[in-house]
Amino acid sequence: MSQKPPYKVADIGLAEWGRKALTLAENEMPGLMMMRRVYGPQKPLRGARIAGCLHMTIQTGVLIETLLELGAEVQWSSCNIFSTQDHAAAAIAKRGVAVYAWKGETDEEYIWCIEQSLVFPNGEPLNMILDDGGDLTNLVHTKYQQYLPCKPMCCHSVVLSAITGISEETTTGVHNLYKLMTKGLLKAPAFNVNDSVTKSKFDNLYGCRESLVDGIKRATDIMLAGKVAVVAGYGDVGKGCATALRAFGARVLVTEIDPINALQASMEGFEVTTMEAACKEARIFVTATGCRDIIRGDHFSQMLEDAIVCNIGHFDIEIDVKWLEDNAAAKDTIKPQVDRFTLKDGRHIILLAEGRLVNLGCAMGHPSFVMSNSFTNQVLAQIELWSKKGTYKIGVHMLPKKLDEEVATAHLEHLGVKMTRLTAAQSEYLGIPLEGPYKPDHYRY
Amino acid sequence: MGVQLVNSHLTNKANDSNDLVELAQQIQMADTFVHATAKNKLTAIAEQIKALQEQAKNVLEEARLNSDLHHAACNMVKKPGAIYYLYKRPSGQKYLSLLSPQEWGSSCPHTFIGGYRLEVDQSWTPVENISEKDNESELMDKILHSGLALTNT
């Protein structure tokens, strides 16, 4: 039997630096700080044993400390082998949280880390999941089914300690939840945090708008102005990426499969074309589709010298890295997470973060402020699931719009926003309550 | 004639018929001594050479191990003072991990080769030699410290 270490991080000596960064981030995360003020005294998460699997960054550190302040016990792993910020992990480990994450895990170590977060020190298993991308959810649904609730008829003792709910952070993980649901495999109620407006319309869009270029610049110091860049996928993430690249003066091409998104891109002034056409003229390639096999061998063979290829979708299957590994004549690591492949005809391809999330692999991920929006939704979802145990059926749920609006409100003061209020007459004219919610559920923002 | 003060016969043995033999014996003895001394000195040098050879071999082996460890696949920023564990994949690739075989338990996916601590000078100390190395460096620290104290006063 393996002995479980109290935590596993790259260097606990970085804790002090991590703590300073956490302090800085707190001021930039007004939503989470509001949760601490409002819910801290009531401890609505008392008794919750949350296993979290989400990029172990400074922002996540503020999330973890918020969950603790709300009464939860927390154990953590990162949902990506490159995304951990070692100083953040160290600071969180130092304050006594069982965190298993370091930048540069192997695939096997990655699973080991998630497995360490399942059972708490008193021997009791997790009873809440906070997930990003669905790896933890899937691991529990396949290898550790004993922690899931069984049918109401049988063994009540197991039901009591079983997993009460799941909250999922990102598009890919939500997609996975719906897939599990359709197949009848989902065993606990889940919250789709991703599709809260204050999550996907902010973190995915404005987050990527700042962190994509940060990643490319830190990795390569390339001049973007005048270059041709291609963004595969024009969802929220793709929109942010395309806008950012254009703001630097790049000429941006977009590839899309959905006619609506293609039309949006086109009307924003982006040329929509195929990867087959784009691969011959672009210098910078960004995949943001959430799909697989977007940039393949036949594309690599036609790219310009030293084309930069990176991905900002959740999983590493958008770029066919294996083709590069198998077909390149040589691979030179310029620095960690920046590899230059020499193709057999002598041309080169620069691959960032091995085709995994470039903003987290090569830069520091999204800024705190936008993550505060996302994580406040996570905290609200955890409170909903835990404090209303048993009221949510197995399925994928969303936070009510009223809470979405509250998340947004929590972030206004920090930006000095001055709000206009409805008058009674206006409220009556529109048929909208004075205190909101201001939009119907089907409104798309 | 005056008084004879010294018996020259007794004080000068030059004419002794045994003198030559004694001289030869002395020379022979001296030869043996010289030979023995030279041999002793040579032995000491030979021993030193042997020790140096051994030391050189150790240094080379250590250098090879250090270089091997630095060239093993590793995605982490290596930090002096930390212990890393070397594993070998079925493909033959060796890589460094933060996880010990005990932490892996039965789920250990690859062959364990050894645990090593990275030192400040970028050398590696096998885990089994860590306490020895620590004692040694503590001693050196003391010497260094007392040396400093001397120059300061």
3-state SS of B82-93 is CEEEEEECCCCC
C-alpha to C-alpha distance for A133 and A315, rounded to whole angstroms: 8
Which string of b and e fits B137-153 if b means at least 16 CB within 10 Å? Answer: eeeeeeeeeeeeeeeee
Catalytic residues of A: 55, 78, 83, 132, 169, 194, 199, 203-204, 208, 314, 366, 374, 378
The average pLDDT across A269-282 equals 98
Q: At what angle do helices A135-142 and A107-116 cross, to 10 degrees?
A: 70
Which two structure tokens, joined as six digits, stand for A435?
A: 């205190």
The single-letter DSSP state of residue B55 is H
The single-letter DSSP state of residue A193 is -
What pLDDT band is residue A155 in, cutting at 50, 70 and 90? Answer: very low
The average pLDDT across A411-432 equals 96
B75, closest residue in chain A (CA to CA): A104
B96, closest residue in chain A (CA to CA): A106
The average pLDDT across A232-246 equals 98
pLDDT higher than 70, residue A439 = yes
On whether A107 is known to bind a ligand per the annotation, the reply is no
Q: Which pLDDT value is given to residue A156?
A: 45
Q: Which pLDDT value is given to residue A279?
A: 97
Contacts of A108 in chain B (CB under 8 A): 109-110
Residue A95's alpha-carbon distances to A3, A92, A369, in angstroms, are: 21, 5, 23
Residues B57-85 pLDDT 10s: 999 998 998 899 999 988 888 889 999 99
Contacts of A106 in chain B (CB under 8 A): 75, 95, 97
What pLDDT band is residue B9 in, cutting at 50, 70 and 90? Answer: low
Strands (E), A169-289: 190-192, 228-232, 251-255, 271-272, 284-287
Output the average pLDDT for chain A.
95
On whether A236 is known to bind a ligand per the annotation, the reply is yes
What pLDDT band is residue B152 in, cutting at 50, 70 and 90? Answer: low
Q: Which residue has the tokens 């600071």?
A: A91
pLDDT higher than 90, residue A75 = yes
The single-letter DSSP state of residue A3 is P
Which two structure tokens, joined as six digits, stand for A305?
A: 């010298």
C-alpha to C-alpha distance for A241 and A424, rounded to whole angstroms: 41
Q: Write out the H or E segment, with its range, that includes residue A220.
A: helix A208-220
What pLDDT band is residue B145 in, cutting at 50, 70 and 90? Answer: confident
Burial of B64 (0-12, 13-18, 19+ CB in 10 A): exposed
Q: Point out the least confidently predicted range of A378-392, B68-82, B139-153.
A: B139-153
The average pLDDT across A234-248 equals 98
Q: Which pLDDT value is given to residue A108?
A: 94
Note whether B151 contacts A: Cβ–Cβ < 8 A.
no
Half-sphere exposure of A199 (CA within 13 A, CB side): 26
Nearest to A112 among B79, B81, B99 (CB): B99
A68-72, B13-17, B42-46: which has the highest mean pLDDT?
Answer: A68-72
The average pLDDT across A75-89 equals 96
Q: Are A93 and B98 in contact (CB under 8 A)?
A: no
Residues A86-113 pLDDT 10s: 999 999 999 999 999 999 999 999 999 9
Cα A300 versus chain centre, distance: 28
> Which residues fall within 8 angstroms of residue A76, CB to CB, at 6 or more apart?
A51, A52, A53, A54, A56, A60, A64, A92, A97, A98, A99, A100, A101, A117
The average pLDDT across A234-246 equals 98
Q: Which pLDDT value is given to residue A436?
A: 92
Interface mutation vs chain A, best among B74, B78, B91, B98, most A CBs within 10 Å: B98
Contact A2 B106 (CB under 8 A): yes
Alpha helices in A268-337 (DSSP H): 275-278, 297-300, 321-327
C-alpha angle with apex A110: A107 to A113, nearest 5 degrees?
155
Nearest to A11 among B79, B102, B107 (CB): B79
Q: Point out the least confidently predicted range of A65-69, A305-309, A329-333, B62-66.
A: B62-66
Q: Which pLDDT value is given to residue A307?
A: 98
C-alpha to C-alpha distance for A361 and A338, rounded to whole angstroms: 9
Interface mutation vs chain A, best among B71, B75, B117, most A CBs within 10 Å: B75
On whether A390 is known to bind a ligand per the annotation, the reply is no
Query: pTM surpassing 0.90?
Result: no
C-alpha to C-alpha distance for B131 and B125, rounded to whole angstroms: 10
Nearest to A112 among B81, B95, B104 (CB): B104
- The size of the A-B interface in CB pairs under 8 A is 53
A333, closest residue in chain B (CA to CA): B75
Which two structure tokens, joined as six digits, stand for A283?
A: 């210098």
On whether A132 is known to bind a ligand per the annotation, the reply is yes
Pairing of strands A338-342, A330-335: antiparallel
Residue B35's alpha-carbon distances to B27, B32, B41, B44, B47, in angstroms, are: 12, 5, 10, 14, 18
Which two structure tokens, joined as six digits, stand for A131?
A: 């997930």
Query: In the structure, how many helices (H) and strands (E) does chain B have?
Result: 4, 4
Whether omega before A437 lies within 30 degrees of 0, making that bond cis, reads: yes
Nearest to B82 among A11, A105, A106 (CB): A11
Q: Which residue has the tokens 């891109």?
A: A265
Contact A102 B106 (CB under 8 A): no
C-alpha to C-alpha distance for B130 and B63, rounded to whole angstroms: 17
Contacts of A10 in chain B (CB under 8 A): 76-77, 79, 82, 98
Q: Write out the H or E segment, with its range, that includes residue A100.
A: strand A98-100
Contacts of A81 in chain B (CB under 8 A): 75
A107, closest residue in chain B (CA to CA): B109
Contact A11 B109 (CB under 8 A): no
What pLDDT band is residue B146 in, cutting at 50, 70 and 90? Answer: confident
Contacts of A104 in chain B (CB under 8 A): 74-77
Q: Are B124 and B96 in contact (CB under 8 A)?
A: no
Residues A168-213 pLDDT 10s: 999 999 999 999 999 999 999 999 999 999 999 999 999 999 999 9
Contact A86 B77 (CB under 8 A): yes
Contact B77 A2 (CB under 8 A): no
DSSP calls for A28-83: H-HHHHHHHHHHTTT-TTTT-EEEEES--SHHHHHHHHHHHHTT-EEEEE-SSSS-
Q: Are A230 and A252 in contact (CB under 8 A)?
A: yes
Q: How far is A105 from chain B (nearest CA, A)?
A: 7
Q: Which pLDDT value is given to residue A158?
A: 45
Contacts of B74 in chain A (CB under 8 A): 104
Contact A10 B95 (CB under 8 A): no
The one-letter code for the residue type at B53 is Q
Contact A102 B76 (CB under 8 A): yes
C-alpha to C-alpha distance for A320 and A306, rounded to whole angstroms: 17
C-alpha to C-alpha distance for B26 and B6, rounded to whole angstroms: 27
Q: How far is A325 from chain B (nearest CA, A)?
A: 14
C-alpha to C-alpha distance for A220 and A250, rounded to whole angstroms: 16
What pLDDT band is residue A1 in, cutting at 50, 70 and 90? Answer: very low
Residue A8's alpha-carbon distances to A53, A74, A102, A145, in angstroms, are: 14, 15, 8, 25
Note whether B103 contacts A: Cβ–Cβ < 8 A.
yes
On whether A18 is known to bind a ligand per the annotation, the reply is no
Give the full edge-to-edge strand order of the sheet including A271-272. A271-272, A251-255, A228-232, A284-287, A307-311, A348-352, A338-342, A330-335
Q: Which pLDDT value is given to residue B5?
A: 73
C-alpha angle with apex B79: B77 to B82, nearest 5 degrees?
125
Q: Which pLDDT value is given to residue A295?
A: 98
